[in-house]
Chains A and B, each alone.
Chain A
Amino acid sequence: MRANSRLLPAVAFALCCAWAAPSPAFDLNDLKKQLEEVREKTDTGKKKVDQARGKVSPAQEIEIGRNLISGLLGAAPLVDNAPLQRYVNDVGFWVAMQSKRAELPWRFGVIDSDGVNAFAAPGGYIVITRGLFELLENEAQLAGVLAHEIVHVDRKHHLKALQKSMKREFWTDLTVGTVSDKQDREKLGELINAGVQLYATGLDRKDEYQADLRGVVLAARAGYDPYALLDVLTTIDSINPDADQMEVMLKTHPPTGERLERLAASMDGRLDSYAAGKTNAARFSSLAAAR
């Protein structure tokens, strides 16, 4: 207190001087102008960087996504069950509506593979394998899995990984916004090829953890029990990791035990008030019985 009261007159004096005789450096208008110039420079700089790093337009993003998901469908077609496919689309769309990118053309599908896995492609294209679907016990668990994939799209994890993997020259002459240009089409083709490789090598681990953590929140927003994703991971964790069906998923994701520990620790106590969310087990199993 004493030191402060001694300082006070000095500070007041300094302020008075500054007020009474403003030097050019203190001219507010000048400062504003300078700031604006700096902002303009950073803006143009940013634009250049964005172009160089490949800012993909929404149309291009969707085009990339459609091609990537077609590739997966080429490896494993949709399960031939229209009510099931519509159901998965309803659950997925409802969860996606809780994200910031509700306007995307969200598409979901169950594909005919024994492998336990799920995939997302830019633009809102998501598939889950029959192998994983058969392990699920209720709608909330399905919502949890789809929410994890929705986060990959929402946060543009695949696009960012592609941006990192392609050389800078690649991006410098990719025009923004036009999909029709011939050169751009070739470039898109290159991007799609790189994207396919990404499905075999996987995303950054921190992206997977983020998809878990944000996914449970999206599920809670949609009115589902957010703990359902933990239950799915627990099921996955109890399967023999050497099983063929687990190979690609485990190779492209962090160890399931590590995901469980991290997710549980982060959720601990924070989402308890949403644990009463729906699981809709009856609706989920009646769909199976209706066949």
Chain B
Amino acid sequence: MKFRSITVLALVLLSPVSAGDNSGIVVREARVYSEADAGSAAVARLAAGTRVEIFSRAGGWKEIYSEQPATTGWVRSYQVREGIYQPDAESTAGSDSRGFLSGLASLSRKASSFFSSDRSRTSSGTATIGVRGLSEEQIRTAKPDFAELEKMDGFASGNKRARGFAQQGGLVAGKVPYISGAK
């Protein structure tokens, strides 16, 4: 274990100081384990908002390095989010990770042009406060649009097409039994 920590530390020291592609942030308080196994020794605890480097991923685990506090080890994957740290976000070091990103815009990974052609098309409707489309009130009062449903029918896939699509994407179907609640 010690050798491994040293190797990891050396890697970190050799890499540029400003976080690269493998940076991440602890989004939920995380216990750090020595192995990717909850039965292994717990070596540290990281608060939400802690900045980390992510080295690898195995199953539901991520191997991380944290400078402050200094520690290396494995955390559950969902406790650490990959991506670039938002220095201007509010309340980054709070005990609760929620809202550490100031809004949706900072999370949107695609250029807004992805859907730009649609914006003008639907913005002619009634002025809305807050979210366009699908506020609670809009869901309750909307008139069914059957022409739009027919359009949806037109895009439908089928057994053959879906199989071809899966094959193209290297997807192989397997037998996986359903799991019940917590162990």
Contacts and interface: CB of A to CB of B under 8 A. Distances in A.
B100 A112 contact: no
Given A200-B139, A221-B174, A264-B78, A227 B60 contact: yes
Interface stretch (B3-11, B64-72, B109-117): B109-117
Given A74-B148, A238-B27, A200 B140 contact: yes
Nearest to B96: A257
A152 interface: no
A85 B155 contact: yes
The dominant DSSP class at the B interface is loop
B179 A283 contact: no
Contacts of A109: 152, 155
A268 B165 contact: no
B12 to A, nearest CB: 23
B115 A112 contact: yes
A82 B155 contact: yes
Contact of B130 (A77, A238, A244, A262): A244
Contacts of B15: none
The dominant DSSP class at the A interface is helix
B77 A71 contact: no
Nearest to A206: B181
A247 B176 contact: no
By size class, the interface of chain A is 35 or more
A265 B165 contact: no
A197 B100 CA distance: 32
Contact of A241 (B98, B142, B152, B159): B98
Nearest to B37: A269
Interface string A254-291: 00110010101111111110110010100100001001
Contact of A274 (B81, B98, B148, B176): B176
Contacts, number: 278
B136 A200 contact: yes
A218 to B, nearest CB: 8
B104 A116 contact: yes
Most buried by B among A75, A82, A89, A116: A75
A260 B78 contact: yes
Contact of A81 (B117, B156, B162): B117
B59 A247 contact: no
A153 interface: no
Interface residues of B, number: 77
Nearest to A135: B107
B151 A78 contact: yes
Contacts of B182: 262, 265-266
A73 B145 contact: yes
A207 interface: no
Nearest to A129: B134
A240 interface: yes
Q: Kindly list the 7 A-B residue pairs having the minimum CB-CB distance in the complex, ordered from nearest.
A: A76-B133, A272-B59, A113-B133, A70-B144, A223-B171, A75-B142, A93-B157
24 contacts: A70-B149, A71-B142, A75-B139, A80-B118, A90-B157, A93-B156, A97-B173, A106-B156, A113-B133, A114-B132, A114-B133, A115-B131, A116-B104, A221-B173, A230-B78, A231-B81, A235-B107, A239-B103, A245-B104, A270-B179, A272-B58, A275-B59, A280-B171, A291-B114
Interface of B: 27-28, 37-38, 57-60, 76-78, 81, 97-104, 107-111, 113-115, 117-118, 121-122, 130-136, 138-140, 142-146, 148-149, 151-153, 155-159, 161-163, 165-166, 169-183
Interface of A: 66-67, 69-82, 85-86, 88-94, 97-98, 102, 105-109, 111-117, 125, 129-131, 134-135, 137, 139, 196-197, 199-200, 213-214, 217, 220-224, 227, 230-231, 233-235, 237-245, 247-248, 251, 256-257, 260, 262, 264-272, 274-275, 278, 280, 283, 288, 291
